[in-house]
Amino acid sequence: MQNLAALPAMTVAAEATESIRIGCRVLCCDYHEPVVLAKEVATIDWFSEGRLELGLGAGWIQSEYEAMGIPMMSPGKRIDKMVETLD
């Protein structure tokens, strides 16, 4: 099966179902602008009537960073970015 983009897939799942919880394993904070991510997940939560379960992480797979074309910062800086996203 093809890997799907998490946010659009969760939106489709929210609209297609009425009772299951909506979520993905973990979204890496480095791949998203904090304000944009907040708006996107708030929208999914609204469409799902509160069924969204959000998992956020600091990232750890070098090849994903390379594929995204972004630098992989030190673990401490990645954690700081995750905390910034949560704020």
Per-residue model confidence as pLDDT tens digits over 42-53: 999 999 999 999
- CA–CA dist 11, 9 (Å, integer): 5
> Residue 64 CA to chain centroid, in angstroms?
14
State yes or no: pLDDT of 65 exceeds 90.
yes
Give the pLDDT confidence score for residue 35 in this predicted structure: 93
Please give the residue that has the higher pLDDT: either 3 or 58.
58
Residue type, 4: L
Instruction: Give the mean model confidence (pLDDT) for residues 66-77.
Output: 95
- CA–CA dist 26, 47 (Å, integer): 20
> Residue 45 CA to chain centroid, in angstroms?
13
